[in-house]
Amino acid sequence: MEDDLVDVPDRGGSGARNEPPCCGEGFVRNDADKGARSRFSLVCAFRCAWDGIVYAVRTQRNMKIHLGIAVLAVALGFVLRIDGASWAAVILCIAAVFAAECVNTAIESVVDLVSPEYHELARRAKDCGAGAVLVFAIVALVVAAVVFGPRAWALFFG
């Protein structure tokens, strides 16, 4: 595997780093690229997935909002000392909203790639992706109300 490493620019700006070739620019992972696909390791898969999350956080305003709300929800969970089942519900909601936002970002990127000019179908695709995020966000708000509402009420008015 050491022979398969290439120097690629560090995305953080601190210089080059050795990475498997799957992480370099121009690497295509599809069925037509069988030779290179065989070098696509689990490490590359996780690195590419992490890069996608970082891209969404850095470039998507709504992802930053979701991240801020997630931090607040976790802090509130500690302050209100929620139980294990409540933690599971909160963490699942956070993960679902983040995942939906990443999928929405992917949809928007592909739509922009294939249809740079306005098209009604492009608008529909983007609206449906955003709608999926909205559904998860509403469910997360309902779960937050169920988990945090009674505890906050008891803390302030009980």
Q: What is the CATH number of domain 60-158?
A: 1.10.287.3610
Annotated domain spans of the chain: 1-51, 60-158
**73 labeled part of a ligand binding site:** no
Single pTM value for the model: 0.77
pLDDT over 80 at 32, yes or no: no
SS3 30: coil
DSSP string, 127-143: HHHHHHHHHHHHHHHHH
Please report the pLDDT score of residue 24 as a whole number.
57
**44 labeled part of a ligand binding site:** no
The catalytic residues are 101
**119 labeled part of a ligand binding site:** yes
Q: What are the pLDDT digits (tens) for 60-74? A: 999 999 999 999 999
Query: Predicted confidence band at 26 (pLDDT cuts at 50, 70, 90)?
Result: low
